[in-house]
Amino acid sequence: MDQRVLILASGKATRFGGVKKQLLRLPSGTTIIERTMCQCRKRGASPVLVTCDGEIAATNGGYAFVPEKHERTVDTFYSTKPLWSDKTIVLLGDVVYSNTLMDRIFSTKDMVVFGHEFEIFSVVFMRDHHSMVSRALCNTEYPGKLRTFHQALTGSEQGGSGFKNLYWHRVCYINDYTADVDTQEDWVDMQKKPIEKC
We report the CATH number of the domain holding residue 89 as 3.90.550.10
197 belongs to a structural domain: no
26 belongs to a structural domain: yes
pTM of the model: 0.89
167 belongs to a structural domain: yes
- Phi and psi, residue 34, nearest 5°: -65, -40
Q: Are 149 and 137 in contact (CB under 8 A)?
A: yes
Of 116, 146, 119, give the one whose Cα is nearest residue 133: 146
148 belongs to a structural domain: yes
Domain interval for residue 17: 3-190
pLDDT tens per residue, the chain (198 residues)? Answer: 899 999 999 876 666 677 789 999 998 899 999 999 999 999 999 999 999 888 999 988 888 999 988 878 888 999 999 999 999 999 999 999 999 999 999 999 999 999 887 788 999 999 999 998 998 888 876 656 777 777 777 776 554 444 444 445 567 788 899 988 888 888 898 888 889 988
